[in-house]
Amino acid sequence: MTRTAEQNAVIKEFESIVGANKVLTKESKTSYYRSGFRSGIGMALAVVFPSTLVQQWKLIEACVKANCIIIMQAAKTGLTEGSAPSGSDYDRDVVIISTLAINKIHLINEGKQAVSLAGATLHSLEKTLLKINRSPHSVIGSSQLGATVIGGIANNSGGALVKRGPAYTEFAIYAQVDEKGELHLVNNLGIDGLGTTAEEILTNLEEGNFDPAKINYDKGIASDNEYEARVRDVTSDIPARFNADERRLFESSGCAGKLGIFAVRTDTFAIPKREQVFYLGTNDPDKLAKLRIDILSKFKNLPEMGEYMHRTIFNITEKYGKDTFVAIRYLGTKRMPLLYKIKSKAENFLKGFSFLPKDIPNKVMQYTSQLFPNQIPERLLEMRDKYEHHLILSMSDEGIEEALAYLEENWSEDKEDSNGGYIVCTKVEAEKAILHRFAAGGAAGRYTVMHEKTIAGMLPLDIALRRNDTKWVETLPQEVQDNIDVTLHYGHFMCNVFHQNYIFKKGTDKARMKEIMLKFLDKKGAKYPAEHNVGHLYKAESTLQKHYAKLDPTNTFNPGIGKLSKYKQSCNCC
């Protein structure tokens, strides 16, 4: 593609800021960064890699001056195409700024809070906090893919931990373009004395040159500290958490890339002294619904985690998620981001050879995984054979005895009317049960790859049911049922949040199926997406539209998300 003089000039400016080796312009080199984790791809003038916060600021300055669209990108783990360009119908050149190299973390207030810079990952934060017996908002899930702390905040990420709610903070420092097109550094991090100019402030922040006595702890919150009370209210007809919840849209929180964030300040959490995982099974969905209500409304101690799996996704994950399971168990989460990056780059490279079969890396990994023995413990397999619905329930400290007493009274297989059962997991069983659950997301995608000749593809929906909705097992509209190959359901049961993947038979009109399903969910009072942000796959509700417009009135950052306009100043007149 021939570039204009203006485009060459802005690329030269980028090179002067970060160096020529950290500016990519060839389509073959930028393809990985221009694509989504699961789907979607778009065009970009350049991908640039700052190494410091000051470089990040200067790149944003150069983009604003050159009237470029800015897409802030970190680990690129979002599932709704929200951290990459979408298509080529933008009215300005798109520049992707990848922040992963800016990865410092500063612990403050004896480790009770953390200041995470633009590229700091959840895994790095977890590792840092483990030394002082504390943990971050999320400890497994997207963290195993290398997700960043800021990515979680920007995308309302939910996580599996029942007590902590969506990722949220009111403390951040970011670049923002006002309605006049002027760039500002907004410092709402709650740390005074960092300096007067943007470069001074960002340099001192990055190096940790700030006085602990000048950190403000009186204004704002650094986590959703009301969530425990919210999730306990099982009478409400409003879901516990969802992407467009206006009570948790604040500056960087839920911004979906509409700001250029440099750092956020978040709470950390004490690690329980004791934890115990129980594995439950039943063929009666009403029994699980009652358990959810009983625990949330009657228990003194909330669970740490309550993860649901249907028998079908259990079986699919056993076969198609084995490589993920094995990799995490034996290589650890630390190496997973690199493995996923290598796999994604290989996929992008091989797409350039049209004569090759599709998805070679996935297929090689799938066939290789079959060389390993079955990874699922025998007692979990027995539960699978007996029961359709499964729950991994993790309790801590005093909650262990509370749960054990309840389960013995209501879930013992010895009771004639039980219609369910449970086991008290050993440490190995608990670890493998949780790993099996978190391999489920990738297994659904792998199944579609391996059955591409007989299916039309997958419709993944991320939904939050009303807190008072006890009819959580759906009866699909007949037209959808007729076109289904298989449904794969799993989720965060205590929050009534479910990931529902519908895999359709060959020849199915997926767009038509999505339209039917969304109308069906609307009638149920469900909200979607629940925790993955709208990206380019969902239409943003009015609350999100207002939030985005307030943060980014000129539509400079990540335009087009939520199926909104990609044009400057959010109009369609250009």
Mean pLDDT of 395-418: 92
Question: Which among 105, 115, 99, 129 has a CA at the least distance from the CA of 188?
Answer: 115
**pTM > 0.85: yes or no:** yes
143-193: per-residue pLDDT in tens?
456 789 999 999 888 778 899 989 999 999 999 999 999 999 999 999 999
Q: Give the number of other CB atoms < 10 A from CB of residue 372.
A: 12
pLDDT class for 389, splitting at 50, 70, 90?
Answer: very high
> Cα separation of 290 and 284, whole Å?
10
DSSP string, 307-335: EEEEHHHHHHHHHHSHHHHHHHHHH-GGG
Per-residue pLDDT band for 339 (boundaries 50, 70, 90) equals low
Both structure tokens of 532: 């993955």
Which distant-in-sequence residues (6+ apart) come within 8 Å of 537 by Cβ? 80, 81
CA angle (488 as vertex; 459, 482 as ends), nearest 5: 65
pLDDT in tens, 199-246: 999 999 999 999 999 999 999 999 999 999 999 999 999 999 999 999
Residue with tokens 């027995």: 382
pLDDT-above-90 percentage for the chain: 78
* Cα dihedral across residues 100, 106, 110, 113: positive or negative: negative
Least confident of 81-95, 356-370, 538-552: 356-370
Question: What is the β-pairing status of strands 46-48 and 94-98?
Answer: parallel
More confident residue, 60 or 569: 60
The pairs formed by 328-337 with CB atoms below 8 angstroms and a separation of 24 or more are 328/144, 328/435, 328/438, 328/439, 329/375, 329/431, 329/432, 329/435, 333/123, 333/140, 333/143, 333/144, 334/123, 334/127, 336/144, 336/145, 336/146, 337/75, 337/121, 337/123, 337/145, 337/146
Helices (H), 353-460: 360-369, 378-386, 398-410, 427-438, 440-450
Tell me what the mean pLDDT of segment 101-118 comes to: 97
User: Which residue, 521, 433, 510, 524, is CA-closest to 470?
Assistant: 524
Question: What DSSP letter does each residue of 198-236 carry, written as one string?
Answer: HHHHHHHHHHT---GGGB--SSS-SS-TTHHHHHH-TT-
Phi and psi based region of residue 67 (left: phi greater than 0; alpha: psi -120 to 50; beta: remaining): left
Indicate the length of the chain as a whole number.
Answer: 574
Query: Given pLDDT bands bounded at 50, 70 and 90, which one contains residue 334?
Result: low
pLDDT digits (tens, 9 = 90+) for 436-494: 998 998 898 899 989 999 999 999 999 999 999 999 999 999 999 999 999 999 999 99
- How far apart, in whole angstroms, are the C-alpha atoms of residue 412 and residue 424? 11
What does the alpha-carbon distance between residue 250 and residue 170 come to, in Å, rounded to a whole number? 6
- Helix (H) / strand (E) containing 281: strand 275-282
pLDDT at 573: 38
Three-point CA angle 555, 76, 494, nearest 5°: 100
CA atoms within a 13 Å half-sphere pointing along the CA-CB vector of 327: 21
Q: Chain-wide mean pLDDT for the chain? A: 92
Tokens of 18: 């970060």
Side chain identity at 16, as an amino acid letter? S
pLDDT of residue 361: 78
> What is the Cα Rg of the chain in Å?
24
Distance CA(444)–CA(465), nearest Å, equals 22
Q: How far apart are alpha carbons 448 and 330 in whole angstroms?
A: 26
At 122-146, the pLDDT tens digits run 989 999 999 999 999 887 655 456 7
Q: Is 179 exposed, middle or buried (0-12, 13-18, 19+ CB in 10 A)?
A: exposed
pLDDT at 571: 43
What number of helices (H) and strands (E) belong to the chain? 19, 18
Give the C-alpha separation, 561 to 125, whole Å. 28
Judge if the upstream peptide bond of residue 377 is cis by omega within 30 degrees of 0.
no
H helices within 92-226, ranges in order?
122-130, 149-154, 198-207
Q: Name all contacts of 405-408 with Cβ < 8 Å and 24+ positions apart.
A: 406/294, 406/295, 406/299, 407/278, 407/280
